[in-house]
Amino acid sequence: MTLQEAAFERARSSLDRLGLPDRLPALHAAGVGISRTVLGGSHSVAIYPPIDSLSPLDAATTLAGVDWGQQISLYVHIPFCETRCTFCHYTVDHVDVSAGGTTSGQDKVGRYLGALKLELAFWGSQLAATGTEVSSVYIGGGTPLILGEAALRDLMETLRLRFTIVPGAEICIEGSPLTITAPDGVAKLQLLKDLGITRLSFGIQSFDDTVLKYAARGYRRDVPIQACAIVSDIFENWNLDLIQGLYTGSPLETWDNLQQVIAIRPPHITWYHARFADRPQGHWYRMESRFAAFEDEQAILLGRMLIWQELAEAGYHQVDGNRFVSARPFIDPFKKIRTSMAKSLLGVGTASYSHAGSASPGGRARGFVLRNIADIRGYIDTVAAGGSPVATGIVMDPEEMLAASYATGLRNGRVENESLRRLRFECADLARQYDGLAVQLEGLGVLEAYSTDDGEAGLRLTDLGRLFEDETLSLFFSPAVKRKLGCPDSQERLTEPLGALGA
């Protein structure tokens, strides 16, 4: 038996031990199954409430009630890319960077950066007034590494000028294989390191040339291999994104990707599951002629088990269903902040998302979730005219806080502490609904009760539950959020996986 055959055999036996595929009909009936749609607007339950459930709000009134606390995490969005990938649903715009870029591309980027600096200056003075410090920075996109050296330097200097960044804070920036391997890539990375960037994150998605071609990534497998070599020479802490389940992907492709990734050994790996919105791969998924070239649920589960098993074998520690680290210090603090309400997050730039507490904690509003205008031109025009880019959001009342404690807390174990017990008391009806759902999911082997070392009761995903991690978390969206998203009932959602596309 070859190594590959033995690995596939082991992965099939692991699935078998979890009762798969036999248990799939019962899981589907409870709304647990591999879904191909974005969940509330995102390919992973990264934030709660999900962006598609937010409503227009009056920025001035809302911001007056916000308390950012003593420390925040800062997210800065750079919405430009040199490719427009066929699966990607982010707010991004294509910029031609060949031969220094077109004039209109440079204008667009320049105007955006001008508006961004105005917004950063606004928040800098607001936070200075309350003595709020920044404990981590994430410059994401899009592809921020598309910016030229002068713009990157200017952005970093602006951040340091406007905010008090605590010493030792992690400062992460996103790149891409094309920006890293471009003629000026090494110089930019070196500059960023000198400017205090501590971590680089970039997406490869796959090393398979056919998958890459249909994803419109603009490169073949040799480019990401070269990019990894460049990055690992400059940064100690870096992350590689891959996606399982893209068009023409297969368990065999996952196996080949694993061989390549393990040979490269990035300190942090994020291996997403492809979900589609109103983008080309979403349309292909609905086309009879193309549907068969997408992995079905059982192929996805086999691939996921291969990923877990082979990365564990290679010495990786699994952080959650999608994230793996070669050593514990490489766990990304920013991802934890995004998925928790415990610490404030300030998002700056178009489409960015923030959450913070309420200035009057005794009231019904326990916090706020806010999102900036999600179209680049609208963002630039509003900020340039002196307006606030905050456009949509939600008031976090006790029900939403309780929902958030499940929808984001379950990913790493939800512990029922004193403040959660108070929330349960305040929204007894919803608490009963969640208890019922938890009992049902425990019965199906998706969740399990556990207790912490200090005797507190917790609820967490089992290995079976982790295979459907984001889908299970989304079952705990609040009734109000589900109504906003127009969620069909669970069974309908699974038999018509793309029913809500483009809605």
Ligand X SMILES: C[S@@+](CC[C@H](N)C(=O)[O-])C[C@H]1O[C@@H](n2cnc3c(N)ncnc32)[C@H](O)[C@@H]1O
d(C-alpha 90, C-alpha 17), whole Å: 37
Least CB distance to ligand X at residue 6 (A): 29
208 binds, among ligand SF4, ligand X, none (CB under 5 to 8 A by kind): none
Taking a C-beta distance cutoff of 8 angstroms, is the pair 189, 200 a contact? yes
The residue to which tokens 């963002």 are assigned: 379
Interface with ligand X, residue 88, by CB under 6 A = yes
Cβ-closest position to ligand X: 203
Q: How far apart are the first and last CA of the chain?
A: 48
Helices (H), 174-296: 177-181, 185-194, 209-215, 222-234, 251-264, 280-285, 288-291
Stretch that binds ligand X, among 82-90, 150-158, 290-298, 376-384 (CB under 6 A): 82-90
DSSP-based three-state secondary structure for 378 = helix
Q: Between 89 and 460, name the residue whose CB sits nearer to ligand X.
A: 89
Residue closer to ligand X by CB (options 143, 250) is 143
84 binds, among ligand X, ligand SF4, none (CB under 5 to 8 A by kind): ligand SF4
Q: Pick the piece of the chain touching ligand SF4 (CB under 6 A) from 139-147, 339-347, 399-407, 455-463.
A: 139-147
Comparison of 202 and 379: residue with beta carbon closer to ligand X:
202
Nearer to ligand X, 295 or 399 (CB): 295
Strand ranges in 285-426 using DSSP code E only, listed in sequence order: 317-318, 323-325, 344-348, 353-358, 367-372, 390-396, 414-415
**Binding segment for ligand SF4 among 77-85, 221-229, 276-284, 338-346 (CB under 6 A)?**
77-85
Interactions with ligand X, residue window 262-281 (CB under 6 A): 272, 274-276
Stretch near ligand X under the rule CB under 6 A, chosen from 55-63, 121-129, 139-147, 312-320: 139-147
Candidate residues 33, 105, 124, 142; the one interacting with ligand SF4 per rule CB under 6 A: 142
Residue number with CB closer to ligand SF4 (212 or 306): 212
Q: Which of 105, 203, 267, 367 forms a contact with ligand SF4 (CB under 6 A)?
A: 203
- Under rule CB under 6 A, residue 205 binds ligand X: yes
Contact between 43 and ligand X by CB under 6 A: the answer reads: yes
Token pair in block for residue 27 = 């899981």
- Candidates 261, 259, 199; CA nearest to 231 is 199
Binder of ligand SF4 out of 68, 90, 235, 285 (CB under 6 A): 90
Q: Which of 7, 92, 274, 348 binds ligand SF4 (CB under 6 A)?
A: 92
Cα–Cα distance, 89 to 101 (Å, whole number): 24
Which spans in 294-388 are helix H?
297-313, 333-338, 376-384
Rounded distance, CA 87 to CA 34, Å? 17
* Dist CA 64 CA 66 (whole Å): 6
Tokens encoding 1 = 């038996």
Residue from 174, 208, 399, 471 binding ligand X (CB under 6 A):
174
Instruction: List C-alpha distances in Å: 351 to 76, 303, 376, 448.
Output: 10, 32, 8, 36
Residues binding ligand SF4 (CB under 6 A): 81, 83-85, 88, 90, 92, 141-143, 176, 203
Residues binding ligand X (CB under 6 A): 43, 81, 87-90, 140-143, 174, 176, 202-203, 205, 241, 243, 272, 274-276
